[in-house]
Structure formats: C-alpha cells, structure tokens
Homo-oligomer: A and B are copies of this chain.
C-alpha cells in the first residue's frame, strides 16, 4: 500500500468542504460504509486528519452533507426524467427509474442517503434537499391522478409508491433484466387506485 501525499502550494485550501464531500462520496462508492473514515477522506483531500472534523463537526456531519447533496442529485435526475415524457403516467415511471438509477450512477451518494441512523436528520439543508425530491414525486402523482380523487388517497399512493421504490432498490429486488417491467408493474398497479 503506497502512501500518496498530496502537496498544496497554499496553506488555506480554498474549497475544502466541497472537496471533502466529493472525496467522501468517492470513498463510499469504493469501500462502502465500512471502509469510510474521516481520516481517509482527509488523506485523499491532502489535508490533516483533523480538517474534516473542523468543517463538518463529526463523521455524522460529513455523511449528512454527502446525503444532502445526493438528494439534490436525485431531485435533478427526477426532474429531467419527468421532462422527457408527455403522459403523466410515463412521467411517474421515468421518475421511478431515475430513483433506481441513482444507485448505479452515484453509488457513493445512494449508499448513504437513506441510512438514517448514520445521519443528522435535523440538519436543515438535509431536510430541505430530501423533501425536495419527494415533493417532486408527490406533485407528479397529483398530476397523474383524476381531479375528483380524494387527495388523501393521492398522498397514500405517493408514499406507498415511494416506499415501494425504496424497498425494491434497498432489498436489491430489481434485477437489471426486468427492471423496467417491474417498475412499470408497480406504478400501474398503484396508479390504478387514483385514475
């Protein structure tokens, strides 16, 4: 194991928090939560072991910042996925696929976003980014629903479908081969209640 030391020409880094978030996410995608450590993140960013703690307070703080950025990415993905379709049902399907694809395209972020016990759920940025993604999803369902359907039913459906997607991904129940089919099945079945 080689010990690479990154040298810097300035004492102040200039952009350390962002770099730490990126390096942290990369480390997560390479080694998983087991291999994650504040010290290693510091090492990779070429700063002292204590630097990450200074900016984020604790390991939980850095992980929370990574998760928050992850939810921002998810919201972006879902928005552009939805924009690619005209039909409201297709929008919902596209958003669900975006959800699933997070785990493939951004495994570091995806691996921590829902590990609530490792995050500071009271963090305001985290809360905001997390609800941003879900609100987008709920709004898409509202538009897909018949206008005369009880809003409570729409809310139930949104929560249930969101939970379904989370479960399918978290439990690795989506095999690549049948991914599209299974997602379409879940969306159609749940949407049937509110159309």
> What is the count of identical protomers in the complex?
2
Q: How many residues of A contact B (CB 8 A)?
A: 31
B172 A160 Cβ-Cβ under 8 A: no
Given A189-B193, A190-B189: A114 in contact with B160 (beta carbons within 8 A): no
CB of A104 closer than 8 Å to a CB of B: no
Output the least CB separation between A38 and chain B (Å).
14
CB of A9 closer than 8 Å to a CB of B: no
Residue of B116, B118, B159, B167 touching A163 (CB-CB under 8 A): B167
Chain B residue, CB-CB nearest to A116: B172
Chain B residue, CB-CB nearest to A178: B156
Chain B residues with Cβ below 8 Å from A173 are 159, 162-163
Mostly, the A contact residues are helix
Output the least CB separation between A174 and chain B (Å).
9
B160 A186 Cβ-Cβ under 8 A: yes
A185 B156 Cβ-Cβ under 8 A: yes
Kindly supply a per-residue 1/0 record for chain A positions 170-195, scoring 1 wherever the CB is within 8 Å of any chain B CB and 0 otherwise: 11110000000010011001101100
CB of A168 closer than 8 Å to a CB of B: yes
Kindly supply a per-residue 1/0 record for chain A positions 138-159, scoring 1 wherever the CB is within 8 Å of any chain B CB and 0 otherwise: 0000000000000001001101
Output the least CB separation between A166 and chain B (Å).
4
Given A160-B185, A160-B186, A186-B160: A114 in contact with B193 (beta carbons within 8 A): no
Sampled A-B contacts (7; CB under 8 Å): A32-B117, A114-B170, A156-B182, A159-B182, A166-B166, A189-B192, A192-B192
